[in-house]
């Protein structure tokens, strides 16, 4: 399907197709929130949104988790495009909220190779949470084997470059309310 919606937010860029529209996203995020609430019947839940990509997803998701919880964010340094990961991740914003003893839900926009999330889980595990789980809006299923699998997935994503709903291309398109594939 090829669509080029006349959307000024796209700055005249050709969009190959809208992969997930606003209604699909809203329905799936609400269901994911209910799923997460059921998975944590007790305990102290802390959602940690990985900025910047997960800002919109985190904001929508937590509104659908009807139980006490805390919300904070995390900013990690990312390896540059095309570079080999050093196997280390550096926190540029370290959450002020304590992690020890809590059920930590790491909220990510998209899992591609999964390296970012795997390194973050390893780092946060040193702070002795009760549990730690990954929730990703999109999962490309590129990685063969992830030591810490993604427990909550919004959508299986095609192996295309996606923008919108928090996902960017050079910081553009994060505000687009749907998810599109760039041509």
Does residue 33 interact with Mg ion by CB under 5 A? no
**Contact assessment for residue 4 and residue 14, using Cβ atoms and an 8 Å cutoff:** yes
Q: Which partner, ligand IMP, Mg ion, none, binds residue 103 by CB below 5 to 8 Å per kind?
A: none
Query: In Å, how far are 28, 45, 104, 129, 144 from 125, measured between CA atoms?
Result: 29, 15, 10, 6, 22
Does residue 53 interact with ligand IMP by CB under 6 A? yes
Q: Which partner, ligand IMP, Mg ion, none, binds residue 60 by CB below 5 to 8 Å per kind?
A: none
Count of residues that bind ligand IMP according to CB under 6 A: 13
Does residue 53 interact with Mg ion by CB under 5 A? yes
Does residue 167 interact with ligand IMP by CB under 6 A? yes
Does residue 106 interact with ligand IMP by CB under 6 A? no
Query: In Å, how far are 19, 22, 129, 130 from 155, measured between CA atoms?
Result: 10, 13, 27, 27
Compute the distance between CA of residue 178 and CA of residue 73 in angstroms, rounded to an integer: 22
Q: Which residues fall within 8 angstroms of residue 88, CB to CB, at 6 or more apart?
A: 119
Q: Which residues fall within 8 angstroms of residue 107, CB to CB, at 6 or more apart?
A: 47, 48, 49, 50, 54, 57, 58, 61, 135, 136
- Indicate the helix (H) or strand (E) that contains 121: helix 115-125
Of 114 and 129, CB closest to ligand IMP: 114
Binding mask 10-49 for ligand IMP (x = CB under 6 A): ----------------------------------------
Site for ligand IMP in 116-135 (CB under 6 A): 116
The correct pick among 113, 128, 172, 175 for binding ligand IMP (CB under 6 A) is: 113
Q: Rounding to the nearest 10 degrees, give the CA dihedral for residues 147, 35, 160, 104.
A: -40
Q: Give catalytic status of residue 112 as yes or no.
A: yes
Query: Residue 50 CB, nearest distance to Mg ion (Å)?
Result: 6
Q: In the complex, which residues of this chain contact Mg ion (CB under 5 A)? A: 53
> Mind telling me the catalytic residues?
112
Q: In the complex, which residues of this chain contact ligand IMP (CB under 6 A)? A: 53, 108-116, 161-162, 167
């Amino acid at each position: 399907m090829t669509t080029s919606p006349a959307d000024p937010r796209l700055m005249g860029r050709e969009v190959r197709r809208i992969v997930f529209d606003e209604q699909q996203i809203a329905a799936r995020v609400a269901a994911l929130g209910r799923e997460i609430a059921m998975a944590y019947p007790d305990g102290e839940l802390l959602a940690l949104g990985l900025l910047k990509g997960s800002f919109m997803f985190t904001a929508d998701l937590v509104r659908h988790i009807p139980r006490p919880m805390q919300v904070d964010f995390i900013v990690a340094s990312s390896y540059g495009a095309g570079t080999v990961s050093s196997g280390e991740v550096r926190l540029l914003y370290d959450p002020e909220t304590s992690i020890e003893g809590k059920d930590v839900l790491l909220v990510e926009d998209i899992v591609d190779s999964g390296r970012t999330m795997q390194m973050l889980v390893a780092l946060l595990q040193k702070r002795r949470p009760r549990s730690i789980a990954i929730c990703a809006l999109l999962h490309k299923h590129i990685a063969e084997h992830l030591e810490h699998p993604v427990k909550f997935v919004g959508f299986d994503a095609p192996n295309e470059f996606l923008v919108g709903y928090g996902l960017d291309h050079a910081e553009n398109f994060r505000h687009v309310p749907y998810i599109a594939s760039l041509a």
